[in-house]
């Protein structure tokens, strides 16, 4: 007879760190705030570097240098998450999550140093060199992910998880705001070709020269300093015990573990939450590229203005995460998810409408409040699902489940690069405005809004 699910692959040692009664209140927990600051700096660096490459990629079109490279950049950034999520989950369970976090942050320093080299020698290596660095950054984040999210339920009271996740995600998306906007400012101020709507062959050659000799390495050097600070703050995180010290790395670690498959089969509600999360991240990946394309190509904005548009989504997400954390209290309230899903769909529909502003209904200023609302609905959608997957996974499988959630989400983000490339081709072939990219995204998100209605649950 098979063992009950909750007894499958259970360790023989106690997993939770210390007596929960001895944990300090969340607001005075140095470990929690150390982890929050560490994640903030990591997310900032990721978004500075990624947005720089996305802006350089979309400017290929307006400068007459070739195709939009955003989709390729998203695929490259996502590949490590797809290939390494299994081993990352294994390490997060095999060893102390605190140790994995510190080592991952040290690897971030190395990746940022390589970024400096990539920009400095752009004339020699071009986009290929920067894409290699982007892949390495994705790899570093892959190993950081399961440990950073898995450590919260191991070091906090379960009733603190909604509030903690709200704070954690809010500060994460604040980092996305600052990182995304900083990338646009860096590109405009330190060099790199700006938007050139009409240009002669000589002007295009000059633009290429400006980009290749830009001082963007200075921005990457700043990221090195931030990575060092983030590594130091990671030392404040409370030491945890290994969840599965007896685990062995096998070829199966590179695929979905059988224990995770058994878990999702036994708890279909968790599997549905995973699918909803994937569709959400698929849309999120397409939206970031679409906003860059709308701003740079259709509205003819500067890189700074375009990055502000993307950054305002982050403002909304931070607000939405905070609202979701406060509304959830001590329960997983899926009504908040439904509000978020419909809000996302409505906001995307507004952004898709053509009109008088360079062929767009809202233009730059009209898009700003809609992007904030889009972000707020995004935060409201994501927090309850995140809490649900954290809280309902068996303690011995939290790292594994979070790793599979990360793998599935990054498969979705990788596909967003593919879909964006497909949508881009359709628009180019039929000579349609870039705002129609958001219409395609609405069609992806609507099924979640219509069909995903799980019951809310109380937390212990």
Q: What CATH number did the domain enclosing 119 receive?
A: 1.20.1250.20
Helix and strand element counts for the chain (H, E): 14, 2
Residue ranges making up the domain that contains 197: 28-236+256-458
Task: Please say whether the beta carbons of 184 and 55 come within 8 A.
Answer: yes
> Residue 241 falls within a domain, yes or no?
no
Which has the closest alpha carbon to 199: 190, 188, 187, 209? Answer: 209
Task: Please say whether the beta carbons of 304 and 163 come within 8 A.
Answer: no
CA quadruple 239, 241, 247, 249: dihedral, nearest 10: 0
Phi and psi for 338 in degrees, rounded to 5?
-65, -40
For residue 269 the two structure tokens come to 């509600």
Quote the CA–CA distance of 387 and 162 in Å, as a whole number.
Answer: 6
Q: Which residues contact 323 (CB under 8 A, 6 or more apart)?
A: 376, 379, 380
Which pLDDT value is given to residue 460? 61
For residue 66 the two structure tokens come to 């070739």
> Residue 209 falls within a domain, yes or no?
yes
Cβ atoms within 10 A of the Cβ of 103, count? 18
> Residue 244 falls within a domain, yes or no?
no
H/E element, 34: helix 30-62
> Residue 18 falls within a domain, yes or no?
no
Per the structure, the count of domains in the chain is 1
Helix (H, G, I), strand (E, B) or coil at 75: helix
Cβ atoms within 10 A of the Cβ of 420, count? 27
Model pTM? 0.82
Quote the CA–CA distance of 53 and 118 in Å, as a whole number.
Answer: 11
Quote the CA–CA distance of 132 and 141 in Å, as a whole number.
Answer: 14
Tell me the HSE value of 27 on the side-chain side, using a 13 A CA sphere: 0
Query: Residue 66 gets which letter from DSSP?
Result: S
Quote the CA–CA distance of 406 and 271 in Å, as a whole number.
Answer: 13
Task: Please say whether the beta carbons of 400 and 259 come within 8 A.
Answer: yes
> Residue 222 falls within a domain, yes or no?
yes
Task: Please say whether the beta carbons of 302 and 421 come within 8 A.
Answer: no
> Residue 2 falls within a domain, yes or no?
no
Tens place of pLDDT per residue across the chain (460 aa): 333 333 333 333 334 444 455 778 888 888 999 999 999 999 999 999 999 999 988 988 876 667 888 999 999 999 988 888 778 878 888 899 999 999 999 999 999 999 999 989 888 888 899 999 999 999 998 899 888 878 888 888 877 887 888 788 778 878 888 999 999 999 888 865 444 443 443 444 344 434 443 688 888 899 999 999 999 999 999 888 888 888 777 666 667 778 888 889 998 999 999 999 999 899 999 999 999 999 999 999 999 999 999 999 988 887 888 888 888 877 888 999 999 999 999 999 999 999 999 999 999 999 999 999 999 999 899 889 988 887 888 877 776 787 678 778 878 999 999 999 999 999 989 999 999 999 999 999 999 999 998 888 876 6
Quote the CA–CA distance of 391 and 32 in Å, as a whole number.
Answer: 17
> Residue 12 falls within a domain, yes or no?
no
Which has the closest alpha carbon to 448: 340, 300, 329? Answer: 340
Quote the CA–CA distance of 161 and 156 in Å, as a whole number.
Answer: 7
Quote the CA–CA distance of 228 and 222 in Å, as a whole number.
Answer: 10
Q: Tell me the residue length of the chain.
A: 460
Task: Please say whether the beta carbons of 175 and 311 come within 8 A.
Answer: no
Q: Which residues contact 317 (CB under 8 A, 6 or more apart)?
A: 169, 170, 173, 176, 375, 376, 378, 379, 382
Q: Which residues contact 314 (CB under 8 A, 6 or more apart)?
A: 173, 174, 176, 177, 180, 375
Q: Which residues contact 390 (CB under 8 A, 6 or more apart)?
A: 149, 152, 153, 161, 165, 398, 402
Task: Please say whether the beta carbons of 46 and 112 come within 8 A.
Answer: no
> Residue 250 falls within a domain, yes or no?
no
Query: Residue 357 gets which letter from DSSP?
Result: B
Phi and psi for 133 in degrees, rounded to 5?
-65, -40
Which pLDDT value is given to residue 115? 92
H/E element, 139: helix 122-155
């Amino acid at each position: 007879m098979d063992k009950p699910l909750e007894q499958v692959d259970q360790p023989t040692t106690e997993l939770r760190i210390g007596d929960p009664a001895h944990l300090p209140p969340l607001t005075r927990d140095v470990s929690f705030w150390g982890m929050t600051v560490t994640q903030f700096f990591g997310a900032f660096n990721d978004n500075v570097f990624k947005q720089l490459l996305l802006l350089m990629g979309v400017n290929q079109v307006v400068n007459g240098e070739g195709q939009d490279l955003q989709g390729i950049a998203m695929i490259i950034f996502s590949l490590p998450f797809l290939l390494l999520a299994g081993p990352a989950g294994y390490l997060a369970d095999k060893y102390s999550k605190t140790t994995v976090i510190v080592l991952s942050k040290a690897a971030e320093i190395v990746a940022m140093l390589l970024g400096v080299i990539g920009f400095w020698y752009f004339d020699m290596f071009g986009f290929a060199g920067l894409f290699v660095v982007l892949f390495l950054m994705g790899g570093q984040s892959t190993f950081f992910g399961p440990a950073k999210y898995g450590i919260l339920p191991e070091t906090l009271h379960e009733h603190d998880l909604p509030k903690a996740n709200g704070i954690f995600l809010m500060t994460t998306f604040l980092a996305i705001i600052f990182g995304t906007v900083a990338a646009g400012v860096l590109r405009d101020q330190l060099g790199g070709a700006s938007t050139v709507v009409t240009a002669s062959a000589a002007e295009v050659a000059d633009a290429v020269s400006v980009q290749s000799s830009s001082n963007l390495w200075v921005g990457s050097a700043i990221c090195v300093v931030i990575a060092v600070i983030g590594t130091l703050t990671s030392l404040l995180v409370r030491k945890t015990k290994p969840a599965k010290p007896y685990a062995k790395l096998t070829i199966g670690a590179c695929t979905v573990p059988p224990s995770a498959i058994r878990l999702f089969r036994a708890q279909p509600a968790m599997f549905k939450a995973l699918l909803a999360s994937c569709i959400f991240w698929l849309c999120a990946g397409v939206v970031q590229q679409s906003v860059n394309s709308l701003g740079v190509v259709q509205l003819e904005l500067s890189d700074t203005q375009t990055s502000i548009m993307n950054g305002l989504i982050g403002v909304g997400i931070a607000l939405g995460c905070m609202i979701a954390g406060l509304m959830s209290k001590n329960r997983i309230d899926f009504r908040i998810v439904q509000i978020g899903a419909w809000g996302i769909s409505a906001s995307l529909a507004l952004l898709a409408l053509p009109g008088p502003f360079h062929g767009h209904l809202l233009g730059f200023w009209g898009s700003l409040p809609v992007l904030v609302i889009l972000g707020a609905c995004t935060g409201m959608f994501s927090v309850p699902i995140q809490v649900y997957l954290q809280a309902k996974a068996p303690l011995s499988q939290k790292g594994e489940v979070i790793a599979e959630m990360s793998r599935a989400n990054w498969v979705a983000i990788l596909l967003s690069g593919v879909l964006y490339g497909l949508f881009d081709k359709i628009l180019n072939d039929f000579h349609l405005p870039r705002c129609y990219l958001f219409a395609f995204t609405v069609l992806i998100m609507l099924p979640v809004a219509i069909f995903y209605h799980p019951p809310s649950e109380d937390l212990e």
